[in-house]
Chains A and B, each alone.
Chain A
């Protein structure tokens, strides 16, 4: 159990402390696990997210000694690990997006048991969006979803994926171009004027 107050420490401080006091690493889990879960659930559904969320932190724990201490916020690092895990399931991810496109059933929205009970079908726009996402190159999906689900900036995405910010920009541009093409010239990732909810 943790009796040290880590509530206000930066992620970097927690990680550094955990090298000698491994238990402290659980504070990082408490802080970021829910967000990592939601990110993975968006890409692979809730079931796989349960496992990969845990796996992300096991890998992070094993790599904690090599964490770059100049980065106070560990989110890019954690999202990077999670993204690598998601990449191992690229086919499953494409399948999931195709399922949404075809059936409107979204495995990210609920647990398997709930699916039977209450099922809200995705709207037409979402189904088209899912169809377009299924066709994207995995690297392009990474940048789109790290932006939309992870809330990371381009710089943070570059850190997460270990690529240059320029690569992130070009991937993002190509992804949006493809999405626009799929939507008959309308960019589904744009917020329509005056319609921002």
Chain B
């Protein structure tokens, strides 16, 4: 052997973790090819607007095509040393923290959520949602996301009317609706599964992807009651194919530790505070840990007694 051959021969074998992840990606590709949706699944920019009810939900059903899933990742002593915290542990800690953070609001009040979204531009988004669902909600975006060239605008947020062709899963984040969801992780998982099953077979995603999407849709830019929020993170921890992404930053630059999942269109991360494991935000990219193409940071959740003075844009479907 010459020196170069030695340099090659001494390269260690891949970690069990890397092999398992590569295997998962291949399995996902196999599954997608069987669903005949590989081409459709790729390239779709998954656009999500959680809890906009009939008003703003778009795109989700079309994007729920690529199947992702399957094998639980193998671990080895080597990777445990490499990665002190697993995705399951991060979500477990996040669930524990989530269960301690309660906002005490009366039925006649509103939950106000402030977040920063960076997609095509950077937007500050504020939502007011009636606790018991009896009042119309408000979404204020600055700059206006629905009419270019306008500084700030308000749109109505209300319950109900599922858009044509949307999945039967209620993408609807009003406090009143959230109260109807099971807070036991197993029951919540069964609930998600039950709703997923109603999709037509050609559009049915792999279980892991659908579960993950459900969690993301409910957590991002939203106040979820503590028990349910904990259950959502516990359920996310059961999704095959999740992994940890360290040293990430959210849309407003806060450092975090993320759990990521390969979705149809790329990678999606839920970011948590690296110390308290409080939920910070979401980050999307086309490659693992690549540059972000979508970011949303949860800045503040609070109780408000009334809606602020506002003027709604004329009613129409917003994207």
CB–CB B7/A22 < 8 A: no
Q: Which residues of B contact A85 (CB under 8 A)?
A: none
- Which residues of B9-48 are within 8 A (CB) of A? 10-15, 18-19, 21-23, 25-27, 29-30, 33-34, 38
* Known A58-B29, A61-B29: A129·B13 in contact at CB below 8 Å: no
Say yes or no: A196-B1 contact (C-beta < 8 A), given A34-B14, A38-B13: yes
- The one of A26, A50, A113, A148 in contact with B14, judged by C-beta atoms closer than 8 angstroms, is A50
Whether, in the assembled complex, B8 has its beta carbon less than 8 Å from a beta carbon of chain A, the answer is yes
User: Is B23 a contact partner of A23 (Cβ separation < 8 A)?
Assistant: no
Is the CB of A111 closer than 8 A to any CB of chain B? yes
With a CB–CB cut-off of 8 A, which chain A residues contact B170? Answer: none
Task: List, in ascending order, chain A residues with CB within 8 A of B104's CB.
Answer: none
Collect the chain A residues with CB atoms within 8 Å of residue B78's CB.
111, 114
Segment at the interface with B among A71-79, A155-163, A165-173, A187-195:
A187-195
CB distance from A59 to the nearest CB of B (A): 10
Q: Is the CB of A42 within 8 A of B7?
A: yes
With A22-B33, A58-B26 already in contact, the answer to whether A191 and B15 are too (CB < 8 A) is: no
Determine the residue in chain A with the shortest Cβ distance to B6.
Answer: A197
Does B21 lie within 8 Å of A191, measured CB to CB? no
| In the complex with contacts A37-B14, A38-B14, A50-B22 CB distance below 8 A | yes
| CB atoms of B34 and A148 under 8 A apart | no
| Residues of chain A contacted by B7 (CB below 8 angstroms) | 42, 106, 108, 126, 129, 148
Task: Tell me, in angstroms, the Cα distance from A113 to B81 when the chains sit together.
Answer: 7
Judged by DSSP, the binding face of A is helix
Docked CA distance A41–B18 (Å): 12
Q: What's the nearest-Cβ distance from chain A to residue B17, in Å?
A: 8
In contact, A53 and B14 (Cβ under 8 angstroms): yes
How far, in angstroms, from A26 to B25 measured CA to CA in the complex? 11
Choose one: A26, A113, A188; the contact of B2 (CB below 8 Å): A188
A113 to B85, CA, bound (A): 13
- Determine how close the nearest CB of chain B comes to the CB of A48; give it in whole angstroms: 11
User: Is B161 among interface residues, defined by CB-CB distance under 8 A?
Assistant: no
* Known contacts A26-B30, A111-B78; A33 and B10 CB within 8 A of each other: no
Pair B81/A114 contact, Cβ less than 8 Å: yes
CA distance A57 to B176 in the complex (A): 47
CB < 8 Å neighbour of A54 from B4, B21, B81: B21
- Residue A49 at the chain B interface, CB threshold 8 Å: yes
> In the complex, A125 Cα to B29 Cα: how many Å?
43
- Are B14 and A149 touching (Cβ within 8 A)? no
The reply to whether A111 and B21 form a contact with Cβ atoms under 8 Å apart is no
Taken together as a complex, chains A and B put the C-alpha atoms of A50 and B7 apart, in Å, by: 19
17 more A-B contacts (CB under 8 A) besides A29-B26, A38-B8, A61-B29? A26-B27, A29-B23, A33-B22, A37-B14, A38-B11, A38-B13, A46-B12, A50-B14, A50-B18, A109-B10, A109-B12, A113-B82, A129-B3, A144-B4, A149-B11, A197-B1, A197-B6
Sort A-B residue pairs by CB-CB distance and give the 3 closest, nearest first. Answer: A54-B22, A149-B8, A37-B14
Q: List 13 A-B contacts (CB under 8 A).
A: A22-B33, A22-B34, A26-B27, A37-B19, A39-B8, A42-B7, A50-B14, A54-B26, A62-B38, A113-B81, A148-B8, A188-B2, A191-B1
User: CB within 8 Å of A: which residues of B?
Assistant: 1-8, 10-15, 18-19, 21-23, 25-27, 29-30, 33-34, 38, 78, 81-83, 287-288
Chain A contacts to B: CB under 8 angstroms: 22-23, 25-26, 29-30, 33-34, 37-39, 41-42, 46, 49-51, 53-54, 57-58, 61-62, 106, 108-114, 125-126, 129, 133, 144-145, 148-149, 188-191, 196-197
